[in-house]
Amino acid sequence: MFKEVKPEVTDFIEQSRKQRNERRDAKARALSAVIIQKNWRSFLVRRNVIRGFRSEFDFKILEGNGVKLTQLIPATELLRYVKYLKFHYNSKLDYERFLVLIRYLVNSVDTGDFKVSYVSLALRKPTLVDWIITTKWLFSTVVEYMGSLDPSIPSDSKVLNIFLSFLLIHTNCCQWSMIQDEKLKPAMSRLATTFLQHLVQKSLFEHLNAVLQKGLARHTPALTKVSLTGIFTIAMRPLIYEKFPQKLVISFTRNILTVPGFILHINSMMNEAYDIIVNERLCSKIIMTLYDSSEEFNILLSKLDGSYVLCLIANLIQLSLLETDILASHCTEFCVVLSKSMHYLGTYVGSKKSNLCSWHPILGWFAQSLDNSLQSAMSFVTSQLRLLWNGRMVRLLFADLYAQAELNLPELSKSDGRSSSTGHHSMNTTCTSQHGPGAPSKAEKLAVLGLLPPISRMGGSRSAGSDVDGYGHRVRHGLSNFLRQISNSSAYRARFRNKKEITNNYIPNLSTGRSDSPGPSDLPKSLKAVCMLYCFTSGSLKEIRSAILAGLSLGDLLPRMWRLISCCGSVRDWAHVIMNSQSVHHLEPHESHLMQIFASATSNLLSILDDAELFELKKSFTIDELCSMGSFFNHLIYESVIMVPDPNQLKLWSPSCKDDNKLNKTNESVAMHDKNNKSAVQSNSSSTVMPNLFTICLRLLSVIYERDSRHLFTPPDFWLISNLKVSAFLADLRKPKPHATFLLKHIPHIIPHKERVILFRDFVREDKASLGIHTRTNWLTDDGPVGAVITVHRNRIVEDGYQQLANLTSSQLRMKIRVQFVNEMGLDEVGIDLDGVFKEFLEETLRRVFDPSLNLFRVTNDQRLYPSPTSHLQESHLQLFEFLGKMLAKAVYECIVVDVPFANFFLTQLLGREKAGCYSFLDELATLDKELYKSLSYIKHYDGDVSDLEFTYSYAEDCLGQVIIHDLCPGGRQISVTNDVKISYVHSVAHFRMYKQIRAQTASFIRGFYSILNPDWLAMFSPSELQTLISGDSSSMDIDDLKLSFNFADNIHVILVDFTVIIV
């Protein structure tokens, strides 16, 4: 439609476009040149102005340096020069000028001269607004510089003191000497409050945290006393001026109280800290704010790493001891806040090493990394944490328990303590306790040396005991009212109505019915809260758990707890507590926490005390109390099992139930999502390292029972359940019913030993039937499958037996084994093996291999056998131990009694009970090495400083003339034994001597032993009962029973006639 455009037209159009673009570019260049020239001229003007301002500032301020007070310029001019420095301030280039200015301003205020003092500008109306704006800028700049200072550098330390002086002076109008008019002070105070609010907005607490971390998170604090005093004062000032608002308290807690050892250092360096903390009730206000603002507290915890939560807990603990009133007036709130923090820590605590965990010196394997600065300061944190289970803190927290005269130690009975006494004293006694809350012991004083304020600060010459009594009677009356209700109940009076002999104050109520007496749920909340705190503390601080429980064992706290538990409800009531503890919210005080901390601490104590301390010195518990505890927990576990439809649910989860993999996986997921979703981690309560209450009570029962099996202190048939019908129980086992199976597995002692032996024989008979071996009806025939037929030379019984039997399978060894002896002439001995020849072979083999001269076994002082630590000198010694285990198990399997007396500690390992925490190797060390036992007992009871004895955490052994040093822990020979670790050292040496030295031999013996016998068959026996099963009963013959059972016949042999005449 259109004609083709001519080329000359196209060229014209393109040329026009180019010209248009050139004109546009030229215009843009011209405009750019104008803009550049304008900005350049502006820059030159500003630079000249800045240089002029800096020159005038340097001439007036920098050259004078503020040293000669006679040269100080008037305040009005000073304000102008401050503005000069503020104009286009460069934080790097103007740092020295700013530092000189701050020093100059401090000096001007110190003069008190109205003409030259910088703060006098606040009293002049024309300069007030400019002064406020300028001062806020100075505050912002000072705070920003403070965060970058390192107190370990001397120059930075001096600068820090200058900045702190400036902040302290200009936020406290009382230090402005020119203000004499009282009417002005309220307005100046409001002005100071405004400045403090501005400081907080400019991240005052965050920058103080940075300084404190650099100065205190190290082996030796770098902050001086002056600096630490200034930091604490300026940190407290916003809280005091604004009357502790929630937002500031949370910020103070997050940034100041999370510094490792902060309260410890200010208490040791700053004398005024105690007065400030007490007068302002710092701890009470912090605790109540955190308690009332639970959501904000949860957010605070979620924003903190676990290690800093630990530092917060440590600082709060020591802060509470500086302001002890909180332990009386707000004990419940204090315990709940600390319990929440401990619970949060528990979500990060693991039980096994993994790639996502790091080792923490207090928490163990921890699902977060730990920086070097925190590791350096962890010794300070540990010192603060120890205050929680120090004697004074324990007495203050349990003040209401110590204040009850009704729970004092009863007078010991004059009987031998073998039987559980009955009866009851009146609960309205007024006697005083022999182990009351008096002054702390020497060890307790050493533990808190330098951590607590001197006595003079705590109210004159009052003792710790008087503090406890005062707090208990002044604030907490719940326990007194609770005990009064118990003593007035009809059920309580009925229990002791017809008792004539009274020898023990507290007998547990073993009834299974309901009563009108107050039960466990009626216990005061404050007591349950304290117990909850120690439950979470011992559950989270894994590496020092033993020290925590040991701290609760000092004095008579545990006996007082037991007397309270024994009179508080029946066994059925406490069984309901165990059931409810499975679903109760763990962060609310509950009666289960009382039972849990008592059972945990008592188990730990009974495992530590040796026989002399427990039975002769009667430390902590009397024999009657041990018997009553054994009876109570025996019935408690039984009632708890029969109350649930499926008893296996009682032990679904517990660290002792080998469920570490699940917990480990939980902690790995925690570490992976730590930074993105900490709140989700906190809500995951399943990962808290705390076994269930049933497991803890079962462990305490096992501790008492194992102690009784080694050192009998209970009457005959004490452990039997009176209302349990053995015939019905055995019938339930054969069906089988879960309750009977569970009871037999965990508390088999509730049925008689004779019945358990018969039950064991039934298990063996059923196993033989599964192999086709039936009960022999004709002793003259050899029926049934035969596992092997061996030929043995009389002079090589052990060698031939080992060569032919060692490689047989478990099934073959459980079948019949026929033996053909070859005499010294090389001829087969005449005879048919109908079990008699094999019995002879087995007895002779065991007699020879257990001979100590073979160096496979040694004997203790009481001639009991245990594996020899030097058995490795024998060739293939571990294979021989496995073979011996098989032969001994075959003897037990075939009901062949062999005279092989084993040491009790070896039988304990054979049953696998040494890892259950119910056994202490130290108790039986005397039977193995009497001299070593005396040495360890001397160390254990040494009153002075054990470090003076110069022991190391190692054990030296003389092996064939060569001294070999074994480390009891990594690097043990470089670690000195101190009072803090002497108990651990003593038990570690005994554990090494009786377990680690023979671990390989014992493992091989056990492997062979249980290849024949099912471990579940022997789990129902104690070590002494297992020895009876192996070697038979060693009791003497009952002549009276023989007389009743002996029947005369007319045709008896003449020898029998003479025998009957002699006996009868």
Peptide bond into 559 cis (omega under 30): no
Residue 45 and residue 807: Cα distance in Å, rounded? 102
Three-state DSSP class for residue 417:
coil
Of all helices (H) and strands (E), which one includes residue 123? none
Percent of the chain's residues with pLDDT above 70: 78
Q: Of 859, 806, 818, 721, give the one whose Cα is nearest residue 1004.
A: 806
- What confidence score (pLDDT) does residue 447 get? 36
Three-state DSSP class for residue 510:
coil
Percent of the chain's residues with pLDDT above 90: 30
On the question of pLDDT at 1054 being above 90, the answer is: no
Residue 299 confidence class, pLDDT cut points 50, 70, 90: very high
On the question of pLDDT at 651 being above 70, the answer is: no
Mean pLDDT of 945-974: 84
| pLDDT, tens only, 467-497 | 555 454 455 678 888 888 887 776 555 555 4
Q: What is the dihedral of CA 653, 655, 659, 663, to 10 degrees?
A: 100
On the question of pLDDT at 816 being above 60, the answer is: yes
CB 904 within 8 A of CB 958: no
End-to-end CA gap in the chain: 151
| Token pair recorded at residue 420 | 């559980």
Q: What are phi and psi of 743, to 5 degrees?
A: -65, -40
- DSSP notation for 689-727: ----HHHHHHHHHHHHHHHHHHS--S-TTTTS-TT--HH
CB 932 within 8 A of CB 944: no
CB 548 within 8 A of CB 541: yes
Average pLDDT, the chain: 80
| Token pair recorded at residue 851 | 């001979």
On the question of pLDDT at 577 being above 80, the answer is: yes
Q: What is the amino acid identity at position 513?
A: G
| Structure letter (DSSP) for residue 88 | T
| Structure letter (DSSP) for residue 1028 | H
Mean pLDDT of 1021-1042: 79
On the question of pLDDT at 693 being above 60, the answer is: yes
Residue 515 and residue 522: Cα distance in Å, rounded? 13
Mean pLDDT of 191-201: 91
| Structure letter (DSSP) for residue 952 | B
Pairing verdict, β 786-793 and 816-822: parallel
Residue 765 and residue 960: Cα distance in Å, rounded? 48
- What confidence score (pLDDT) does residue 761 get? 92
| Token pair recorded at residue 524 | 């005061």
Mean pLDDT of 237-259: 93
- What confidence score (pLDDT) does residue 170 get? 87
Of all helices (H) and strands (E), which one includes residue 626? helix 623-643
SS (H, E, C) 839-881: HHHHHHHHHHHCCHHHCCEEECCCCCEEECCCHHHCCCHHHHH
Residue 660 confidence class, pLDDT cut points 50, 70, 90: very low
CB 697 within 8 A of CB 599: yes
- What confidence score (pLDDT) does residue 832 get? 64
| pLDDT, tens only, 599-615 | 999 999 998 888 888 88
**CB atoms near residue 766 (< 10 Å):** 10
| Token pair recorded at residue 742 | 């569970």
Three-state DSSP class for residue 599:
helix
CB 343 within 8 A of CB 540: yes
* CATH value of 921-994 in 3.90.1640.10, 3.30.70.1140, 3.30.2160.10, 3.40.50.150: 3.30.2160.10
Alpha carbon 716 to its chain centroid, in Å, reads 38
Please give the biggest Cα pair distance in the chain. 159
Query: In Å, how far are 634, 639, 643, 719, 864 from 510, measured between CA atoms?
Result: 10, 10, 15, 13, 40
On the question of pLDDT at 163 being above 90, the answer is: yes
On the question of pLDDT at 68 being above 50, the answer is: no
Of 272-281, 703-712, 914-923, the range with the lowest mean pLDDT is 914-923
Residue 135 and residue 1048: Cα distance in Å, rounded? 119
On the question of pLDDT at 538 being above 50, the answer is: yes
Q: Which sequence spans correspond to the domains of the chain?
A: 391-654+691-719, 921-994
Residue 236 and residue 230: Cα distance in Å, rounded? 10
Residue 42 and residue 799: Cα distance in Å, rounded? 108
On the question of pLDDT at 395 being above 80, the answer is: yes
- What confidence score (pLDDT) does residue 541 get? 87
| pLDDT, tens only, 354-380 | 566 777 677 777 666 677 777 788 889
CB 284 within 8 A of CB 248: no
Mean pLDDT of 57-64: 72
On the question of pLDDT at 512 being above 60, the answer is: no
The counts of H helices and E strands in the chain are 49, 8
Residue 362 and residue 379: Cα distance in Å, rounded? 10
Residue 475 and residue 515: Cα distance in Å, rounded? 30
- What confidence score (pLDDT) does residue 957 get? 82
- What confidence score (pLDDT) does residue 743 get? 92
Of all helices (H) and strands (E), which one includes residue 366? strand 364-366
| Token pair recorded at residue 689 | 């390292």
Q: Of 987, 1014, 985, give the one whose Cα is nearest residue 917.
A: 987
CB 389 within 8 A of CB 551: yes
Inter-helix orientation angle 262-269/372-386, to 10°: 70
Mean pLDDT of 916-942: 82
- DSSP notation for 466-491: HHHHHHHHHT--HHHHHHHHHHHSHH
Give the start-end residues of each E strand in 881-939: none
- What confidence score (pLDDT) does residue 452 get? 41
Q: What are phi and psi of 558, to 5 degrees?
A: -65, -45
On the question of pLDDT at 704 being above 90, the answer is: yes
| Token pair recorded at residue 498 | 């017809």
| Percentages (nearest 5) of helix, strand, coil residues in the chain | 60, 5, 35
Question: 56 or 288: whose pLDDT is higher?
Answer: 288
Q: What is the dihedral of CA 266, 257, 441, 554, to 10 degrees?
A: 180
Mean pLDDT of 1025-1048: 73
pTM greater than the 0.85 cutoff: no
- What confidence score (pLDDT) does residue 612 get? 80
Mean pLDDT of 425-434: 36
CB 635 within 8 A of CB 750: no
Q: Of 940, 949, 864, give the one whose Cα is nearest residue 899.
A: 864
| pLDDT, tens only, 900-925 | 999 988 999 999 887 666 677 888 88
CB 121 within 8 A of CB 127: yes
Three-state DSSP class for residue 441:
coil
